[in-house]
Amino acid sequence: MNKTEFIDAIASDAEVSAASAKKVWDAIENIIAQTIKKGGDSINITNFGTFKATHYDERTMTSPLDPKSEIVIPAGFRVSFKAGKGLKTLVNASTKKKKNKKEEAVVSKKAKAKTKKVVVEDDDDDEDAPVIKKSKTAKKKKK
């Protein structure tokens, strides 16, 4: 989903115009950027997650273009996002349903493989007692 699709989804879910949704989203982006730009400040949105900027120091490393020379990486900030408990629960709940369906399919296949096929035939001599015979397709145990 790209930004335009995201804004359209917000507009339809909140039942507002796309222009209003875009203004709201732009305001959210601006507030997040300005808050974490200060460095050290973080934005914690309960049940969603935390946006945080972490400072890193200047360092040198080997140049990927010329392994004999070194380059200097200037100090700066890294922006990170840590998902909150509510978001994790929501995402994991949907994946557990998919996993459970897959697990059920695997279990049912294994159960079918272990089940012996039985053929019930009606014996003409006695109408009350059917004769139960193992099918030829039933798997035999290996010794």
**Helix, strand or coil, per DSSP, at residue 61:** strand
Yes or no: say if 35 and 41 are a contact pair by the CB < 8 Å rule. Answer: yes
Q: What is the mean pLDDT of residues 6-22?
A: 92
Task: Give Cβ neighbours of residue 58 (< 8 Å, ≥ 6 apart).
Answer: 72, 73, 74, 75
- The number of folded domains in the chain is 2
How does pLDDT run across 82-141, given as a tens digit for each residue? 999 999 998 888 666 666 666 666 656 655 555 555 555 555 555 555 555 555 555 555
Yes or no: say if 61 and 70 are a contact pair by the CB < 8 Å rule. Answer: yes
Yes or no: say if 18 and 8 are a contact pair by the CB < 8 Å rule. Answer: yes
In eight-state DSSP terms, residue 1 is -
How does pLDDT run across 48-69, given as a tens digit for each residue? 999 988 888 999 999 999 889 9
Pairing outcome for strands 70-73 and 59-62: antiparallel
Residue 115 included in any domain? no
Higher pLDDT, 9 or 114: 9
Residue 72 included in any domain? yes
Range(s) of the domain holding residue 68:
41-88
Question: Do 30 and 45 belong together in one domain?
Answer: no
Cα 107 to Cα 102: distance, rounded to the nearest angstrom: 9
pLDDT at 42: 86
pLDDT at 132: 53
pLDDT at 8: 92
Cα 84 to Cα 96: distance, rounded to the nearest angstrom: 18
Higher pLDDT, 131 or 10: 10
Pure H helices in 1-143? 3-14, 18-37, 85-114
Question: Do 26 and 53 belong together in one domain?
Answer: no
Question: Do 46 and 17 belong together in one domain?
Answer: no
